[in-house]
Amino acid sequence: MNKKRKRSNYFGTMINPTRYHRSQIKFYLILLPVLFVMLLPILFIVFHAFKPISELYAFPPRFFTLRPTLDNFSQLFRVSQQTSIPFSRYLFNSITVAISVIILSLILSSLVAYAFSFLEFKLKKTLLSLNQLSIMFVPVAVAVPRFIVMHTIGVVDTFLAHIVPLIAVPVGVFLLKQFMDQIPRELYDAARIDGANKFQIYYKIVIPLVKPALATIAILAFQSSWNNVETSQLYINNEALKTLPYYFQSLTLGTTSIAAQGISAAASLIIFVPNIVLFIILQRNVMNTMAHSGLK
């Protein structure tokens, strides 16, 4: 009996060990090379930003920097001080747009997914199919009709032009619906019997159970807004309303080709850092979402 229990514990330790076990070596042999390959783009962005001009134009190109320097960043901020609009204004615009897009995307996506998962209405399957179909379209493919819509509703050259095109997240609706489909319908029925209305069920029961998916959508919404250049290019004429990525791009295009390479490398790192920091903070929720999004 004791031998059987010991064997069970041994295999349980091998399958899901709480501490390091030599049976894990084979997994590390696979994961560590994959991890190194996945880290290469991140390492390149970091090292590239600290390269001096001589290494930026070295041939053959070097992956690692031999003489790291802060000249690229100092040159970036030196050029930014020569513009009529202060750097802080562009930074404020980007932060405001990112926060607004995250909040509105979470609200809109969760409400739509709640309707698809729990409510019954006409054309439900058709609208759900259209949402899945919209995931296939890249922004460039709908640039012209999107501009017509933006001009028709009168938000061109306003702050809303940064927000309105980005608050619809079809992927977010799909992920949230997959999560909500796993919630036992007994919870919904019990809440209805207790007298809760549909909004109370949505806010007090459903939302707390889909927090991992909400965190994933928050990351997607942040990336789409923080890295976005198209809204400033297509819908904004007022320079004071444009965002940080567009500003960095304009600095790169407005300087000589030699200096532009260093400025572009520093600007890319500044734009990239918030993305990776937010992902690291919420990565557990992202993994949980990916693991459950395809389950029924």
**Mean pLDDT, rounded, for 144-150:** 88
Cα(229)–Cα(249) distance, integer angstroms: 9
How confident is the prediction for the chain on average, in pLDDT? Answer: 82
pLDDT at 259 (0 to 100): 63
Q: Is the per-residue pLDDT at 154 higher than 80?
A: yes
pLDDT at 14 (0 to 100): 46
Of the two residues 296 and 163, the one the predictor is more confident about is: 163
| DSSP codes, 188-203 | HHHHHHTT--HHHHII
Assign residue 68 a region (left: φ > 0; alpha: ψ between -120 and 50; beta: otherwise).
beta
Q: Tokens 């459950």 appear where?
A: 292
Cα(51)–Cα(129) distance, integer angstroms: 49
Cα(64)–Cα(43) distance, integer angstroms: 8
What is the pLDDT confidence band of residue 95, given thresholds at 50, 70 and 90?
A: very high
Cα(172)–Cα(214) distance, integer angstroms: 8
pLDDT at 258 (0 to 100): 61
Q: Tokens 């690291």 appear where?
A: 280
DSSP secondary structure code for residue 255 in this structure: S
- Please enumerate in sequence order all residues whose Cβ is within 8 A of that of 63, keeping only pairs 6 or more positions apart, or say none: 43, 44, 47
pLDDT at 290 (0 to 100): 53
Tokens of residue 275, six digits: 């993305």
pLDDT at 126 (0 to 100): 92
Q: Tokens 């070596």 appear where?
A: 25
Of the two residues 20 and 289, the one the predictor is more confident about is: 20
pLDDT in tens, 17-61: 566 667 778 888 888 888 888 888 888 888 888 888 888 777 787
pLDDT at 20 (0 to 100): 66
**Mean pLDDT, rounded, for 3-16:** 45
Tokens of residue 119, six digits: 């409510």
Three-class DSSP category at 20: coil
Cα(2)–Cα(25) distance, integer angstroms: 28
pLDDT in tens, 183-231: 888 888 888 888 888 888 888 888 888 888 888 899 889 988 998 888 8
Domains and CATH numbers, the chain: 31-69 (no CATH), 85-292 (1.10.3720.10)
- Reference 134, options 146, 121, 118, 148; nearest CA is 146
Least confident span in 16-25, 73-82, 285-294: 285-294
Cα(120)–Cα(117) distance, integer angstroms: 8
pLDDT at 98 (0 to 100): 93
pLDDT at 255 (0 to 100): 55
